[in-house]
Structure 1
């Protein structure tokens, strides 16, 4: 029967990363009717819990864990793991991802039997998928662990990124197309032009001040490299880190990525026509940094903000907006418990997403189902396995008991330590509002 189903099974042995005996595991793969592929690993002595893993933005390749170390640790604890590639022609596969993920779950349960418990686990774009599963997956999942998740949704993502890119184009004279990319190469060319403009601007105080304004609109953290962030009032140090992360990392990822989102949406979903850029800066956690650097450079910040506001003309395609609103924006109407964790300095999916998400869940009167935790670290999804697996155990206890145990930083660090995989770096933290959120 296995050959007839075109499913490949191989038996391998994995040495667990926790203090437990090595477990034999069975590896399964298959293809869904949508064309998505799926992959699963189920250990001998499976504990009955299946992790339904949703991978982040990128090539449509099946994954069932965020990294090899975490996979080994989860298998050693007895968890089954499954995940799909998603299907479609765009890396932004939100229109198919939920169906493909639940299809992968059904496929593995046909081989090994029904899971006693299923937990969705999503990373980055996959974190948006796991958040949507928490809204739409009742009866198929029991809880959701969302890590570094794009929980502010695709419409907000596109808008605040457009705001930052617009500041680079208008104030630094970067020659870059910002929306409606005909090809992926056009997005790459735009990213190169924007990055080059930042590099050139870093040579003068005026240029650095304007880069700091763009970084604030991007929700860019002031910590990119190093064991600790620059001091709170080291505005020059923070600006240098922001310039590096934008020019060396962020723009090269997000600008070509816009092409993939537009491909999925059927057009441009972002706009800045009618946006008041002075209002956007007001209350931004980087506002004092921007004002200080502008003052030192002898620039008129009000004039620059007025220029950005006056000249903004980008309009969104209503069809594209409707598509992403339907497929790629959380409503907050959770139906199962969700624990969402984020690093405090995330360059690709800023931690401010968590502020927008908490407000959205509160508006839906579902706060009792949501808990959030913050790891003091720089980097996108830069968690240690102890931190994510510890969080998984906290969520699982909530599923088992029907009540949240404490999810303070201290409690999450105790859960991380209990995995024996290392120490946690959870801290008490309150993210600022997401600048540029309009949807």
Structure 2
């Protein structure tokens, strides 16, 4: 249901689990065919692993050491620079769909190069399962970090960063293993846990109520029958981010409700709705088995949701109300496939989020901030808004600055600057998100940056 990046949905990588590419790390055993982890070295039944050879980078005139293999049913990559500073960075990837091929990836947004040049080692797991399976991500990432300590050396500090579902893995990992990780950088993360599923449900149920086209549970022909009728009734069919506003008063009500449910009025919100309006219909159509990882929508609900604005249609009175199909799984505090995030970080967290992202909306940051504040841990959280609209649309400058500031925070104890995310007036200000957005990306017209006024 979720991806690690809409602008970079994960490609399937060709080749089998590979041998390590280099040897010679001081104090570590050579990377050989036998270097495949001390745990189970085969994928789980039904899965295959694709982990093609990764060429080392040359840093400071010397090649890095790359180790690849299989550990506890998951493929992995480990890369260590010749002048390692003793710290490790774990990379948590995003949603892979329901495919039966497990794949690895390198840190994005230029972070691989940046980390290695700064002396950090990094490691990334494919996880032992696909699907919207946060439990698998949390456990596989921790298993790989422990494996690194055995085959390389125990690091002085261990950081955790990732995108989208990987941000979910990151936030839950801090709570699952308190004290294990020293700092975290979730980007475009599902920090509001199951409330993301509620947002997807909201959009479809509200649109159906406004258009007078009941279609829940979604039928097989939802996208080809019901959705076109909904779009026509609301004036959505011809709506584009830069074109004229084709919505009628019902379509405007859906847009305003969606803006409120995704973080409130904020720069770029109108254009963002036009970018995401069709996708949010398609995300409601799910397939797969009965587990939450295969069909996460079974956890969603709108029983207690109040929608605003509530006119011209009284949506709160007319919208279909849906209880969670799997209430027990939604309420369990344990590490389930789609677990709760309590809001109890145990290390500094610096997060990045795009203002116009409606795949994993900005409201995820607000939910997490409120949860963290409720537990008296706001001192451990810094959040930054980026003026972009695609999912995980960050530049190397934005991600790199966040990483550098997180490291300074962990090492020197100086909390970096951030944006307030829970003050509705501040979020609605015309210049909100300007402080940490890449001005050069706007000047160059990169991605969706020009959907926002210049800062």
If the length of structure 1 is used for normalisation, what is the TM-score? 0.72
Aligned partner of 1:146 among 181, 186, 201: 186
The answer to whether 1:71 aligns with 2:102 is no
Alignment coverage as a number of residue pairs: 372
The match for 2:286 is 256
Aligned partner of 1:3 among 18, 30, 33: 33
Aligned partner of 2:302 among 257, 267, 272: 272
Say if 1:210 and 1:363 are closer, same or farther in 2 by CA, change over 3 A.
Answer: closer
Distance in structure 2 (CA, Å) of the matches to 1:164 and 1:408: 27
Aligned partner of 1:196 among 201, 225, 228: 228
The answer to whether 1:49 aligns with 2:90 is no
- Stretches of structure 1 lacking an aligned partner (at least 5 in a row): 231-237, 282-286, 292-299, 426-439
Distance in structure 2 (CA, Å) of the matches to 1:413 and 1:111: 44
State the 1:42 CA deviation.
Answer: 1.7
- Stretches of structure 2 lacking an aligned partner (at least 5 in a row): 1-28, 38-50, 236-245, 421-430, 444-455
State the 1:391 CA deviation.
Answer: 1.0
Aligned partner of 2:104 among 52, 62, 76: 62
State the 1:58 CA deviation.
Answer: 1.8
The match for 2:318 is 307
State the 1:117 CA deviation.
Answer: 1.7
The match for 1:320 is 329
The match for 1:26 is 65
Say if 1:413 and 1:371 are closer, same or farther in 2 by CA, change over 3 A.
Answer: same
State the 1:196 CA deviation.
Answer: 2.7
Distance in structure 1 (CA, Å) of the matches to 2:291 and 2:277: 20
Per-residue Cα deviation, 1:78-107 (whole angstroms, up to 9, x for no partner)? 32121111123x511112221100111122
Say if 1:206 and 1:84 are closer, same or farther in 2 by CA, change over 3 A.
Answer: same
The answer (yes or no) to whether the contact 2:138–2:173 under 8 Å persists in 1 is: yes
Say if 1:262 and 1:178 are closer, same or farther in 2 by CA, change over 3 A.
Answer: farther
The answer to whether 1:332 aligns with 2:375 is no
Say if 1:241 and 1:116 are closer, same or farther in 2 by CA, change over 3 A.
Answer: closer
If the length of structure 2 is used for normalisation, what is the TM-score? 0.70
Looking at secondary structure, tell me which structure has more helix per residue.
1
The match for 1:166 is 205
The answer (yes or no) to whether the contact 1:94–1:129 under 8 Å persists in 2 is: yes
- Secondary structure at the aligned position of 2:392 is classed as coil
The answer (yes or no) to whether the contact 1:14–1:25 under 8 Å persists in 2 is: yes
State the 1:378 CA deviation.
Answer: 2.1
Say if 1:106 and 1:213 are closer, same or farther in 2 by CA, change over 3 A.
Answer: same
- Secondary structure at the aligned position of 1:152 is classed as coil
